[in-house]
Amino acid sequence: MTMITVKQAYTGAVLAELKMHDSAQVEQMLSNAQKRHQAGRLSETQRIEILQKLADLVESEHEDFSRLIANEGGKPIRDARVEVTRAISGIRIAIRELDNITGEEIPMDYTPAGAGHKAHTILEPIGVVVAVSAFNHPLNLAIHQVIPAIATGCPVIIKPASLTPLCTLRLAELIQQAGLPVGWVQVALLSNENAEKLVTDSRVAFFSFIGSAKVGWHLKSKLAYGTRCALEHGGVAPLIFDEYADEEGFVNGVVKASMYHSGQVCVSVQRVYVPEKRAQDLAEKIATIAAKQVVGDAINENTDLGPLISPQATDRIEAWVNEAIASGAQLMTGGKRINAVSYAPTVLLNPAKDAKVSTQEVFAPVVCIYGYKTLEEAVEWANSLDVSFQSSVFSDNAETAMTIAKKLQASAVMINDYTTFRVDWMPFAGRKHSGYGIGGIGYSMRDMLEHKMIVTKR
C-alpha cells in the first residue's frame, strides 16, 4: 500500500506516515456519500448544534492546531494562531449565514397566464461535494470547503494537499466528536490518478478546488455533465502607489503583504507600481525592512518567514530571480537561497515586463517594484496579464483612487489597503485565468444549494 510521509516543513523530520487510499476506497467513499445524500439531511437545528460544538472543540485545541499548521505547512507560529482564530470564526459565520439563506415567494399575477397560481422556492442540498484543497492554509481552507457543506446538509469528501493533510484529518475527527454522523465528512488521501477519478465521477454534484490554474482548469474540463464547480487559483497581484502621506506605514505594509507566509498566498502583493521618480527610493526603503525579516523554522516564536513548501519550490524561485537579474532587474536585497527550503526575502527593481517574476505567480518572498510615468501606464501594466484576482491602490486623493479602482481588472480592489485583505464572509474570487465562481463562506453555501420552485393552482 502506498504511503504518504508528512514532514516537518523546515527540518524534514517525519511527522506522520499515512496510508493512501486506493481506487476501491474512492468508490466506497462516493457510495457512502451518495447514500447519505439520498437518506436526507439533518435538520437545521441539528446542523447548527453540531457546528456550535465544533467551533468550541477547535477553540479548545487552538494552540495544538497552531503548532500543527507551523510544523506541517511552515507558516510562522504567530500567523498560524491567526489562521486558527479565523477558522473558528468561519464555523460561526456559517451558522449566521443560515439565517440569510432562504427561499422566496414568486409573484404569479403579473400577467393573466399566472393568475390563480401561487409559487415559492425552497432550497435543497445539491448533493455530494468533492473538495480538493491546497497546502498554504491547511486548516482555514478546509473550513471554507467543508463547513459550507455541513451547514447546507451536503455530504463532502475532501482531498487535502498531500504535504499538509494533518489539520484536515484532525478537523474531521472533531467534526465527528461534535455529532455529525460517520460518512458525512470523509478525508481522501489520494494519488493524482485516484483524485481525478474522485473528482470526475458522475455522483459528484459540486466540485470545490483551491490550487494551481493548470490543475484546476484541467479537472474542470473533465467534470461529469451537470457537476457545478468553483475554482480558486492564484494571481500576480498588482498595487499602484500614487501619493500617500503615511509612507512608513505603506512600506512596512508592503513587506508584510508580500512576504506573509513567505509569499505563499494567492493574493500576495507581487507587482508594486510607483512613480518613476520615486521608484529607487521606495525600493530601497522596502528592501531595508525586508532585509530585517527573520527567516527560520516556523515553530520558533521569533520567525517572521518560514520555509517554502518544498525544495522544488526553492529551486524554482532561485531560477526565476536569477533570470530576472540576468535580464536587467536591480537586486535591492535578498536574491539568494538560505537552505534547501528557505529563500531570503527579495526585492527587485524594474524587472523586465516579460520576466517570470513579472508575469507568473511567484509564491515566494519576492516583491517587484516598477517605476511608471503616468497612472494610465500603471493601470495598463496592472491589467496586462491573463490572471486577475485582488488588487489595490494607495492614494490620498479619493477621486484618483476611485478612478483607478474602477479601471483595474480585478474581483476586488482595496483602496489604501493591500491585496491580501480579506474577511471570510466577503466574496472572494478570481477573474480571467485566476478562477471560476465565488468563494467566501456564505457564497459557497449558496453554491451548495439548489432552488426548487413549488407552484400551486388555487
Report pLDDT digits (tens) over 336-353.
Answer: 999 999 999 999 999 999
User: With bands split at pLDDT 50, 70 and 90, how would you rate the model's confidence at 426?
Assistant: very high
Query: Among all chains, which residue has been given the C-alpha cell 470526475?
Result: 200
CATH number reported for the structural domain that contains residue 282 in this entry: 3.40.309.10
193 is catalytic: no
- Tell me: do 370 and 225 sit in the same domain: no
How long, in residues, is the chain? Answer: 458
In this structure, which long-range contacts are made by residues 352-356, counting pairs with CB atoms below 8 Å and at least 24 apart in sequence? 352/324, 352/327, 352/328, 353/381, 353/384, 355/320, 355/323, 355/324, 355/327, 355/329, 356/320, 356/323, 356/324
Instruction: Please tell me which residue in 72, 266, 361, 368 is annotated as part of the active site.
Output: 266
- Residue 458: the pLDDT is 85
Is a pLDDT exceeding 80 seen at residue 1? Answer: no
Q: What is the arithmetic mean of pLDDT over 18-36? A: 97
Burial tier of 322 (Cβ tally within 10 Å: 0-12, 13-18, 19+): middle
Q: What is the arithmetic mean of pLDDT over 309-333? A: 97
Domain extent at residue 443 = 3-233+434-457
154 is catalytic: no
- The one-letter amino acid at 368: C
- pLDDT exceeding 90 applies to what percent of the chain? 99
CB 34 within 8 A of CB 202: no
Is a pLDDT exceeding 80 seen at residue 356? Answer: yes
- Tell me: do 406 and 451 sit in the same domain: no
**Residue 428, strand partner residues:** 439
What pLDDT digit, counting tens, does each position of 62-98 carry? 999 999 999 999 999 999 999 999 999 999 999 999 9
For residue 259, give Cα distances in angstroms to 77, 329, 407, 422.
Answer: 15, 19, 27, 16
Q: Is residue 446 situated within a structural domain?
A: yes
Q: What is the arithmetic mean of pLDDT over 192-210? A: 97
**What does the mean pLDDT of the chain come to?**
97
Q: What is the arithmetic mean of pLDDT over 323-329? A: 97
Q: What is the arithmetic mean of pLDDT over 105-121? A: 93
Instruction: Please tell me which residue in 72, 97, 232, 361 is annotated as part of the active site.
Output: 232
- Tell me: do 61 and 190 sit in the same domain: yes
Is a pLDDT exceeding 80 seen at residue 190? Answer: yes
- Tell me: do 441 and 387 sit in the same domain: no
- Tell me: do 278 and 177 sit in the same domain: no
